[in-house]
């Protein structure tokens, strides 16, 4: 027995934000966003205007920080409990949308604790108070269609991926005009996050006939469009926005692997953006996993037109192509080149490896791994 879950409605394309008008009949919308990018782009105003036009009262909660904290989640949930929205609209990158998903849980269930809900598939029933609309502004996390929300505990510098289909948004709006305002580096990092999602989903333990085509199509489209998107090509930006979402539908079900386990533990520790951590780790992770799933990597390589006579050669070609892609996107390939000193790395490697083993993404990695193995992969990426 297995389950495959998709979100309900996805509106996509240029100007898709107008589909917010479908919320007619709701009374109160809490709008959540990050710093200032959505304001600067005029998208926040647009959301407010459309909602006001259809008679929905709004309240804004802004300033959600990148890699949101538990404290921010509690603050937002308290604001929701005061305003009592029947619809939650999160617009921005993965951070504000993830934070809003966790706020939603504590809004509907003030009695819940973070300790409880961070256990996989332990989130109580939602939608008694509000439905959730996600409007992503970056093209990477796919949180608008996933069962995940990544929240950081800054007392330990550990990122916790909350996981439950209950927090999959009800409505995703992929307006391809919104990612057009992303700067180059953000485009590169979020794009490599999306590629890592697709590749990890294609080999992950819970992969299926449902998730495989989504993962492969995402990988192919990301290879086709990420570099042009990086250089600001409008169509390529749009294609990336859709491709990252396909990857999201794949990994929300197939789950991920140790690139994400390690990215979750090194991102906060070394203050490196999530997508950049994945970009650094992916080649070493493929190398490690190839022992058990080189045939799957070979399929990806063949699809991309890479050449080799054996699965091993094709896997190596895939690894080389990822390194090449990183280079073209201006991403430094190692932790060291990203400014992590040898001293800091050595000081934390044991702790990171031990925590990474416990990350929920480790259980779905195709090859088993212990702390020693994690240290080896990390060292290869240093
Ligand atoms: P963030 O949401 O962290 O945003 C990073 C920066 O990008 C912010 O400064 C933000 O500015 C800016 N920004 C966002 N959109 C635009 C835009 N269109 N134009 C200009 N600037 C913009 O980035 P990500 O989307 O990469 O999210 C990363 C987070 O998501 C991490 O915490 C990661 O762990 C998590 N994640 C979640 C997954 C899931 O399934 N839930 C999967 C993978 C990662 P401002 O604040 O001003 O808006
Ligand atoms: Mn990710």
Q: Residue 234: how many CA atoms within 13 Å on its side-chain side? A: 4
Measured in angstroms, how far is the CA atom of residue 360 from the centroid of ligand 2? 13
Q: Is the CB of 89 under 6 A from ligand 1?
A: no
Say whether 24 sits in a helix, a strand or coil. Answer: strand
Is the reported ipTM for this assembly greater than 0.95?
A: yes
pLDDT: is 258 or 156 the higher one? 258
Q: Is the CB of 58 under 6 A from ligand 1?
A: no
What's the CA gap between 28 and 86, in Å, rounded?
6
What's the CA gap between 50 and 57, in Å, rounded?
11
Average pLDDT over residues 25-32: 98
Measured in angstroms, how far is the CA atom of residue 24 from the centroid of ligand 1? 28
Enumerate the H helices of the chain as residue ranges: 37-40, 43-53, 70-83, 94-108, 114-117, 184-203, 211-230, 234-254, 258-270, 274-303, 311-328, 342-358, 371-381
Phi, psi of 331 (to 5 degrees): -95, 125
- Say what the pLDDT of residue 163 is: 94
Q: 89: which strand partners?
A: 31, 133
Q: Is the CB of 169 under 6 A from ligand 1?
A: no
pLDDT: is 125 or 268 the higher one? 125
What's the CA gap between 223 and 108, in Å, rounded?
40
Say whether 122 sits in a helix, a strand or coil. Answer: coil
Position in ligand 1 atom list of the atom nearest CA 96 = 2
Measured in angstroms, how far is the CA atom of residue 317 from the centroid of ligand 2? 23
- Say what the pLDDT of residue 159 is: 85
Q: Is the CB of 178 under 6 A from ligand 1?
A: yes
Kindly report, residue by residue over 59-77, the tens digit of the pLDDT: 999 999 999 999 999 999 9
Say whether 299 sits in a helix, a strand or coil. Answer: helix
Position in ligand 1 atom list of the atom nearest CA 180 = 18
What's the CA gap between 72 and 208, in Å, rounded?
36
Q: How confident is the model at residue 221 (pLDDT cuts 50, 70, 90)?
A: very high
Domains of the chain: 9-179 (3.40.50.1970), 182-381 (1.20.1090.10)
Q: Which residues contact 71 (CB under 8 A, 6 or more apart)?
A: none
Kindly report, residue by residue over 260-301, the tens digit of the pLDDT: 999 999 998 999 999 999 999 999 999 999 999 999 999 999
Average pLDDT over residues 350-362: 95
Measured in angstroms, how far is the CA atom of residue 68 from the centroid of ligand 1? 10
Average pLDDT over residues 223-229: 98
Contact between 8 and 55 (Cβ < 8 Å): no
Q: Residue 44: how many CA atoms within 13 Å on its side-chain side? A: 20
């Amino acid at each position: 027995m297995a389950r495959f879950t998709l979100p309900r409605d996805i509106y996509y394309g240029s100007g898709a934000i107008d589909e917010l008008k479908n919320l007619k009949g709701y009374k109160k919308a809490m709008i959540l966003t990050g710093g200032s990018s959505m304001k600067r782009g005029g998208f926040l105003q647009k959301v407010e205007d459309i909602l006001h036009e259809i008679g929905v009262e709004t309240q804004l909660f802004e300033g959600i920080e990148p890699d949101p904290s538990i404290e921010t989640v509690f603050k937002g949930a308290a604001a929701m409990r005061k305003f009592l929205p029947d619809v939650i609209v999160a617009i921005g990158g993965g951070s504000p949308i993830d934070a809003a998903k966790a706020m939603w849980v504590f809004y509907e269930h003030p009695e819940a604790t973070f300790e409880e809900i961070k256990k996989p598939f332990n989130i109580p029933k939602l939608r008694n108070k509000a439905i959730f609309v996600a409007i992503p502004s970056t093209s990477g996390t796919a949180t608008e269609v996933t069962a995940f929300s990544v929240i950081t505990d800054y007392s330990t510098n550990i990122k916790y991926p909350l996981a439950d289909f209950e927090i999959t948004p009800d409505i995703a709006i992929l307006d391809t005009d919104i990612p057009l305002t992303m700067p180059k580096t953000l485009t590169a990092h979020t794009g490599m996050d999306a590629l890592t999602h697709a590749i990890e989903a294609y080999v992950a333990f819970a992969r299926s006939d449902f998730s495989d085509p989504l993962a492969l199509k995402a990988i192919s489209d990301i290879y086709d469009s990420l570099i042009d998107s990086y250089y600001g090509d409008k169509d390529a930006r749009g294609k990336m926005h859709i491709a990252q979402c396909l990857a999201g539908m794949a990994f929300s079900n197939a789950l991920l692997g140790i690139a994400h386990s390690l990215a979750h533990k090194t991102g906060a520790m070394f203050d490196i953006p999530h997508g950049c951590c994945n970009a650094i780790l992916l080649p070493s992770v493929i190398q490690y996993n190839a022992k058990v799933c080189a045939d799957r990597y070979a399929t990806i390589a063949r699809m991309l037109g890479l050449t080799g006579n054996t699965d091993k050669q094709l896997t190596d070609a895939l690894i080389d192509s990822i390194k090449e892609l990183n280079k073209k996107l201006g991403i430094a390939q190692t932790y060291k080149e990203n400014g992590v000193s040898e001293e800091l790395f050595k000081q934390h490697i044991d702790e990171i490896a031990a925590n990474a083993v416990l990350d929920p993404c480790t259980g779905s990695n195709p090859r088993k791994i212990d702390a020693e193995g994690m240290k080896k992969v990390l060292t290869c990426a240093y």
